[in-house]
Amino acid sequence: MENDPRDAKLDMLFSAARKAEFYPPEREFGFETRVMARIRAEREGQKAFLLWEWRLIPLFVSLVILLGIWTYTSESRPAIDLSALTHIGNEEAVLTAYLTGE
């Protein structure tokens, strides 16, 4: 690798490139203001989301209560029509009754 003449030329290219101006200094102007504005905006966004989260709690609580009531009332229905069992060999009717809950 040491004898490869391309290495010396490549190193020259790197050496020249290192002296170049990688970015214009004016790009830094007002940078901290832009960063702080973004940080504040993100923080405000998070606060708004958390506020909404708290506001949604009553809705979720009422949903859970309604689901509880619905489950309690639906349990009183017979799950399977047992009369279908009396027909020997009528497996399809049993299966339909089981799946539909009739």
Partner 1 sequence: MTAPEEVPNDERLVSAALAGDDEAFGELVRRYKRKVFSIVARHAGSTHEEDDICQEIFIKVYQSLGKYRGDAPFEHWVSKIAVNACYDSLRKHNRREKEVPLEDVEFALCAPSGEEVSSNEALHILRRALAKLRPEERLVITLLNLEEKSIREVSALTGWSESNVKVRAFRARNELKKILEGDNGK
Residues contributing to the site for partner 1 (CB under 8 A): 4-14, 16-23, 27-28, 31-32, 34-36, 38-40, 42
Query: Measured from the CB of residue 72, what is the shortest distance to partner 1 in angstroms?
Result: 46
Query: Measured from the CB of residue 50, what is the shortest distance to partner 1 in angstroms?
Result: 16
Closer residue to partner 1 in complex, CB, 21/75: 21
The sign of the CA dihedral 19, 22, 27, 31 is: negative
Closer residue to partner 1 in complex, CB, 12/95: 12
Query: Measured from the CB of residue 59, what is the shortest distance to partner 1 in angstroms?
Result: 30
What DSSP string describes 52-68?
HHHHTHHHHHHHHHHHH
Output the CA angle 92-87-94, nearest 5 degrees.
Answer: 30
Nearest-angstrom CA–CA distance, 93 and 80:
11
